[in-house]
Amino acid sequence: MSDLSHVDDGGEVRMVDVGGKSVSRRRAVARGSVRMAPQTAARLRDLPKGDALVTAQLAGIMAAKRTAELIPLCHPLPLTVVDVRLQIGEAGVEIESSVETTAQTGVEMEALTAVAVAALTVY
């Protein structure tokens, strides 16, 4: 028997069956950062193309909503809340996402995807 939830006893990948799980409120929080020189971070809100942090925030929200299309074997979920916050610090940009749903499986991948795409957008 495989210890991995996405691998069956024969070694084949599969989507986990959550049909027998009860629907409940679920929440996940993820954090990440993009390190950069302080003078670079100070310019992020005043770029010729606009505020980079607002763009990254929107990108993170959009990515959370598309996680099932980006990450193989993720269940498409009805997200009830996606909150992405970015803050400029001394060493770069700190990113935190909070994602919620009422479903049969969790939203950890959605929270992680939101942070990853927001970080890529900042970079």
DSSP 93: E
Class of domain 24-122: alpha beta
pLDDT of residue 112: 99
Nearest to 102 by CA among 48, 23, 36, 22: 23
Question: Which H/E stretch holds residue 89?
Answer: strand 79-89
Contact 117, 99 (CB under 8 A): no
Radius of gyration from C-alpha coordinates of the chain: 17
Question: Which segments of the chain have a pLDDT < 50?
Answer: 1
pLDDT of residue 33: 97
pLDDT of residue 2: 61
Q: Pairing relation of β-strands 92-103 and 24-35? A: antiparallel
pLDDT of residue 49: 86
